[in-house]
Amino acid sequence: MEERLSMEEESKNVMDLIWDRTLELFIRIHDYPENPEHFDSLVHWLNENPAHLKAFNELGQIWISTGIALAREIGQPLSDLERDQPPLMMH
């Protein structure tokens, strides 16, 4: 018997795939910033779908928030980190 996914489940699966790819590209750029192919892949992927850019910007905000929380934990000054942050990439 074939099981059908609800629209909500399908949407969640699509978002999971987008987030998986977002993390993959982010990690590649973080680990190998000198490799221009990773940046090219990211730019191409971001331009494919507005949901890709949205996920990437959300990941960037999570990254910034995590850094702020860590800096607070260790008592590092946060003057630059705590200012309102614009989106990481604009479309």
Q: Which residues contact 52 (CB under 8 A, 6 or more apart)?
A: 18, 21, 22, 45, 46
pLDDT per residue as tens digits for the range 28-51? 998 999 999 999 999 999 999 999
Structural domain contains residue 7: no
Mean pLDDT score, 13-17: 91
Structural domain contains residue 4: no
Structural domain contains residue 57: yes
For residue 55, the enclosing domain spans 49-77
Q: Which residue has the higher pLDDT, 80 or 50?
A: 50
What pLDDT shows up at residue 91? 41
Structural domain contains residue 89: no
pTM for this structure? 0.64
Q: What's the number of domains the chain is made of?
A: 1
